[in-house]
Amino acid sequence: MDYTIVHLIHIFAVSVYGGFLFTDNLFMARMKETLPDKEAAAAREAIMIHVRKVVPKALIVAVVAGLYMFFQVFGTVGEEGLSRFQMLLLLKAFLGSWLGLRGVLQVFFGIQPLVFKSHKFPFILVIMIIFLSQLMWE
């Protein structure tokens, strides 16, 4: 029962974070094409004021819930080594932890990303994590 609740929380938090990245990369980035530069910057900032209050915290919740689930399902390493599931889960956890570290540094320490300052790279990682999630269970 605990796992199911944490899983639902994880899905919700990932939906908030991934939904923002989807919206930012596919729609908000295109505002410059239809609005003058000043208006596009003002519109983006009006949205980002609210995004900064919710999205980084959703990312942290997603990572914490993901770590809990990781330790619940990883299992033991057999004599033959890591299973395909365990290898993909490790890769997924690494990518998610990198995103989580980035979020923690921003939220709690005010440190902006030193590299990959745009949201394209996190968006690509989220897409990769989604695909890994699907491949893990095959």
What digits encode the pLDDT tens for the residues 37-96? 999 999 999 999 999 899 989 999 999 999 999 999 998 998 999 999 999 999 999 999
Q: Would you list the domain boundaries of the chain?
A: 2-136
What does the block give as tokens for 45? Answer: 């900032």
Question: Can you give the pTM of this predicted structure?
Answer: 0.85
First to last CA, the chain: 24
**For residue 121, what pLDDT band results from cuts at 50, 70 and 90?**
confident
The whole-angstrom separation of Cα 67 and Cα 62 is 9
Q: Residue 118: is its pLDDT beyond 80?
A: no
Best CA proximity match to 55, nearest among 31, 27, 23, 32: 23
Residue 73 to residue 94: CA distance in whole angstroms = 15
Q: What contacts 8, CB < 8 A, 6 or more positions away?
A: none
Q: Is the pLDDT of residue 116 over 70?
A: no
Separation CA 37–CA 53 (nearest Å)? 25
pLDDT above 70 as % of the chain = 96
Residue type, 93: A
Q: Scanning the structure block, which residue is given the tokens 């999205």? A: 55
